[in-house]
Amino acid sequence: MSKHVVIVGAVALGPKVASRLMRCAPDTKITLLDRDRLISYGGCGIPYFVGGDVSEISELRKTMYHMERNESFFKNVKHFQVLTGQEVVSINRKDKSVVYRDVDSGQEASMDYDQLVLATGTTPVLPPLPGADLPGVFTVSNLHHAQAIKNKLAQGEIESAVVVGGGAIGLEMAEAFADLWGVETTVVEMMDHVLPAALGPDTAGLVHKQLEDNDVRVMCKTKVTEVVGDADTGVQAVRTSEGDIPCQAVIFSVGVRPSTKLAQDAGLTIGPFGGIAVNARLRTSDPNIYAGGDCIEQRHLISGENLIMPLGSLANRQGRVIANNIAGGNDQFPGVIGNFCVKVFDIGVARAGLTMAQAEQAGFDPEYALVVQPDRAHFYPTSNIMIMKLIADRSTRQVLGVEALGPNGDAVKARVDAVGALLPHRVRLDEISNLEVCYSPPFSLAMDIVNVAGNVLQNIIDGYNRPIFPQELLRVFPEQKGVVLDVRAPDQAQPGRDKYGDRWMNIPLEQVPDRISEVPADIPVYVYCNTGTRSYEVQRFLNGQGFDNVRGVQGSYAVMRDLDPEFDPRKDGEI
């Protein structure tokens, strides 16, 4: 007799397990249950549906070949049974059966399984604040919410909106609101910068500027204390530690919680971070029960810590591993390194591995480089600036993380994915310096930004490059400490000279050897240019001439102009 595999949850991992299993072991009987009627959708596409890039919500449920993934699709094309509107309410591990309830009739029934797969996903966190249940308060977790938000927008009911939580989904929703619908949008973030789990404060500062340039207001270090309104009119404002923000809609995107009640009630082990605990084969503490996707705890391959990482990409890959194992294989899912990307208006942002803060917390002694380079040959017409932060452990030189952003998101992703691919191999910095990437002027410089980032970070650790990072300079310069030595052409340096007088020196790069007597030896000198390249050149030259109190401003104008446009008041923006 063929074995019966029961799968709970039919969004990403569930259908993947079933589809793969039917291809490998076509004798298997599979039943997939979901309490929702809308299943197997691309939840990550919701902001693009709200923002109009995707016009019909049904697009998020279609295959590449334009078939809607519903019960009959799975029956006729994938050859397994899906029962929708059926909520699994308990697992009887002794009998190997589940009890499920029809969400409309409330009627319960039970079903035996040989193997059970839990793909129960997550529940969005809705903080227990006064007013959090008012009409006009939304989370972004399924197609019903998506449709409700878009309906309200389309009916012109939202002039102002507040997005609580500056993570990826929050920023994507803010863009959707502001860009297509012209809604006055405010992002409120409790931490000191947006994308706090993905980026450090400097790279996040550049994202912040991108949001503001596109008329999204961003309030960091701000706590939401209440949603103001009443049941009739709905939301009227969000009350925060920085005052009230009037609005007609609130999106809470402050995180998600793995949906583990079913697992927990059945006595399966739950990990310290609240996800279902699984081994590398994605089996739970019961050998007949697998779990994967958003509801499990993942192992981070660099930090060694567990974490919750809800991503459709991981769910799909894990689905294959589970199916192979049920089919009798030994497939393993080793863990994650936290690859992440997001489009924020006109820029792409990506990272892999750990941020500086995460690296410190994991016990490393991290150091970083912040480099600016064109994404293609600088003489090629479509060349754009890219900014990259590379993080490594100071003593072992193990590469720990990378963050990058720029107008060409695919090119940003290219660099982060290449470095990211190496992270599980615990490579040292010299492997990044020598990393071979495809080179041709329309797609890269001869020295690609990844190689340069590797070199700069080695130079910093070796003591050749003596950096001052933009945020430190923004702190110390107003305290009257040191002078800026601007080595760009006089016209580019003039706005700084006009603003700061003698504290903003200008000696163009090529004149430095002849005018070395003008450089002060007794106070800190911050060498400054457009991207940090010339600064390093001059810093090394001055070091060679006995000047020790010289530091190069990492990223220089290319970073400063976005982090604090008032610091260097030059306005033309050209690099």
What is the footprint of a second copy within residues 504-543 (CB under 8 A)? 509-513, 529-531, 533-534, 536-537, 540-541, 543
**Is residue 488 near a second copy by the rule CB under 8 A?**
yes
Smallest distance from the beta carbon of 225 to a second copy, in angstroms? 32
Q: Give the footprint of a second copy on residues 314-333 (CB under 8 A).
A: 314-317, 320-321, 331, 333
Looking at beta carbons only, is 291 or 418 nearer to a second copy? Answer: 418
Distance, CA of 405 to CA of 371 (rounded, Å): 11
Smallest distance from the beta carbon of 117 to a second copy, in angstroms? 18
**Is residue 334 near a second copy by the rule CB under 8 A?**
yes
Single-letter code of the amino acid located at 390: L
**Is residue 95 near a second copy by the rule CB under 8 A?**
no
One character per residue 545-564, x = contact with a second copy (rule: CB under 8 A): --------------------
Single-letter code of the amino acid located at 285: S
Looking at beta carbons only, is 53 or 114 nearer to a second copy? Answer: 53
Looking at beta carbons only, is 262 or 450 nearer to a second copy? Answer: 450
Angstrom CA distances, 1 to 25, 27, 225, 400, 545, stand at 13, 9, 58, 50, 84
Distance, CA of 14 to CA of 32 (rounded, Å): 7
Q: Residue 20 in 3-state DSSP?
A: helix
Looking at beta carbons only, is 184 or 568 nearer to a second copy? Answer: 568
Chain-centroid distance, C-alpha 21:
31
Distance, CA of 174 to CA of 170 (rounded, Å): 6
Looking at beta carbons only, is 248 or 339 nearer to a second copy? Answer: 339
Tokens 């030896």 locate to: 521
**Is residue 394 near a second copy by the rule CB under 8 A?**
no
259 in Cβ contact with 120 (< 8 Å): yes
Smallest distance from the beta carbon of 265 to a second copy, in angstroms? 30
Looking at beta carbons only, is 13 or 149 nearer to a second copy? Answer: 13
Angstrom CA distances, 257 to 191, 201, 342, stand at 19, 25, 21
**Is residue 374 near a second copy by the rule CB under 8 A?**
yes
How many CB atoms lie under 10 A from the CB of residue 29? 15
Looking at beta carbons only, is 196 or 409 nearer to a second copy? Answer: 409
Looking at beta carbons only, is 198 or 237 nearer to a second copy? Answer: 198
Tokens 């071979």 locate to: 436
**Is residue 570 near a second copy by the rule CB under 8 A?**
no
DSSP H helical segments within 423-514, as ranges?
429-433, 449-462, 470-476, 490-500
One character per residue 400-429, x = contact with a second copy (rule: CB under 8 A): --------xxxx-xxxxxxxxxx--x----
Looking at beta carbons only, is 96 or 570 nearer to a second copy? Answer: 570
What letter does residue 74 receive in the DSSP assignment? I
Smallest distance from the beta carbon of 509 to a second copy, in angstroms? 6
Looking at beta carbons only, is 293 or 366 nearer to a second copy? Answer: 293
Instruction: Out of 352, 527, 550, 553, point to the residue binding a second copy (CB under 8 A).
Output: 352
Helix axis angle for 168-181 and 201-213, nearest 10°, is 20
Smallest distance from the beta carbon of 497 to a second copy, in angstroms? 19
**Is residue 89 near a second copy by the rule CB under 8 A?**
no
- Residues across the chain: 575
One character per residue 224-263, x = contact with a second copy (rule: CB under 8 A): ----------------------------------------
Distance, CA of 23 to CA of 493 (rounded, Å): 66
**Is residue 72 near a second copy by the rule CB under 8 A?**
yes
Q: Give the footprint of a second copy on residues 170-189 (CB under 8 A).
A: none
Smallest distance from the beta carbon of 212 to a second copy, in angstroms? 21
Instruction: Out of 347, 435, 473, 560, point to the residue binding a second copy (CB under 8 A).
Output: 435
Residues 6+ apart with CB under 8 A from 353: 302, 337, 338, 391, 399, 400, 401, 402, 419, 420, 423
| Nearest alpha-carbon partner for 420 in 445, 391, 395 | 391
Q: Give the footprint of a second copy on residues 1-40 (CB under 8 A).
A: 12, 22-24, 26-27
What burial class does residue 257 get, using C-beta atoms within 10 Å of its C-beta: 0-12 exposed, 13-18 middle, 19+ buried?
A: middle
Instruction: Out of 35, 69, 78, 193, point to the residue binding a second copy (CB under 8 A).
Output: 78
| Nearest alpha-carbon partner for 535 in 502, 559, 500, 570 | 559
Instruction: Out of 110, 241, 264, 434, point to the residue binding a second copy (CB under 8 A).
Output: 434
**Is residue 337 near a second copy by the rule CB under 8 A?**
yes
Q: How many helices (H) and strands (E) in the chain?
A: 16, 30
What burial class does residue 395 get, using C-beta atoms within 10 Å of its C-beta: 0-12 exposed, 13-18 middle, 19+ buried?
A: exposed
Q: Which stretch binds a second copy (CB under 8 A): 31-39, 142-150, 185-193, 379-387?
A: 379-387
| Nearest alpha-carbon partner for 129 in 196, 197, 229 | 229
